[in-house]
Amino acid sequence: MHPRVTIHMTEVPKDLPMVHAFSGFVDAGHSIRQAVSHMITTLPHQKVAELSIDDIYDYRARRPVMTFDRDHFSDIDMPRLTLDLFWDNHSKPFLMMHGPEPDLGWQQVAQTVIELAEHYKMGKTIGLQAIPWPSPHTRDLLVTPHASDPSTIEARPGPVERVDVPGSLTTLIEFATGRAGIPAQGFAVHIPHYLVNTEYPTGAITVLDEISRAAQLTIDKGELPQLAARVRQEIDESIAASTENEEVVAALEQQHDADMASWPLPSSDELMDQIEQFLAGQDESD
């Protein structure tokens, strides 16, 4: 069940980061889908390769949308898994694989990603996740970064030391590419659990910020901040209409603040390393 790959573009710069973003299981608040849609809409891009998805996708579980126009079907939105070459707002190139998370053949897909990474001599892979979390929308979103070599990412206070979690294609690719000697990292944005089934633009903004940080890109947010402000106002109004909801959010705020105060902060050496990395990045952008 090794997915067939159709190559559309052979000349790709070496050492590019590849973002892999799959809609579905780990996309709380539709944050990944919104972030990917924003990049597709606002950034120039060109298709590099496409993975055949027919044998690894369950059409009965996730049926494609068809458009019926008066007396005929005029369109169908078929699922696609593609690798595209993007350019950020400063014309810096990066790769992104995106589409629905396949239902089958994960190990074969991961092996295909490894082969593509080796073929195009990618610099590293970056996986995106947005997970439900018992936190209030009135606080900054938590982000848990991770990597095949943890020394390559910044240290951040976090709520989890060790835990067993359900797997996803995103995390399998990070695991497999890291084992294959390809630098791999990713991050999980923590979305308030009561907003996981809504369009939450704040989550998408955080995803874009983390992509920009991990791949050293410049991605303009466009209208997402204004949309996030409107959604935030709607959430506040909805919660204010119920005393019970207000009490729940207040309890989440209290727990969140207590947790933040108890988490260990980075050491002075780690903080100095982060400051030096930041200043070096500023020098490069000047």
Q: What is the pLDDT of residue 163?
A: 83
Which residues form the domain of 209? 5-285
Q: Which amino acid is at 91?
A: S
Q: What is the pLDDT of residue 282?
A: 47
Bin 99: left if φ > 0, else alpha if -120 < ψ < 50, else beta. Answer: left
33: helix, strand or coil: helix
The structural domain count of the chain equals: 1
Separation CA 133–CA 159 (nearest Å): 10
Q: Cα separations (Å) of 138 from 96, 129, 240?
A: 31, 21, 13
Q: What is the biggest distance separating any 2 CA atoms in the chain, rounded to whole angstroms? A: 69
The runs of H, that is alpha helices, within 51-199 are 106-119, 169-179
Q: What is the pLDDT of residue 246?
A: 95
Q: What tokens does 155 get?
A: 């240290």
Separation CA 234–CA 238 (nearest Å): 6
Per-residue pLDDT of the chain (286 residues; tens, 9 = 90+): 578 999 998 899 999 999 999 988 889 999 999 999 999 999 999 999 999 999 999 999 999 999 999 999 999 999 999 999 999 999 999 999 999 999 999 999 999 999 999 999 999 999 999 999 999 999 999 999 999 999 998 877 777 778 888 899 999 999 999 999 999 999 999 999 999 999 999 999 999 999 999 999 999 999 999 999 999 999 999 999 999 999 999 999 999 998 888 775 445 455 456 556 555 654 554 5
Q: What is the pLDDT of residue 116?
A: 96
Separation CA 81–CA 105 (nearest Å): 13
- The DSSP output letter for 53 is -
Q: What tokens does 34 get?
A: 């919104």
Task: Determine contact, residues 110/116, Cβ cutoff 8 Å.
Answer: no
Partners of residue 82 on adjacent β-strands: 50, 98
- The DSSP output letter for 91 is -
What CATH number is associated with residue 152? 3.40.50.10900
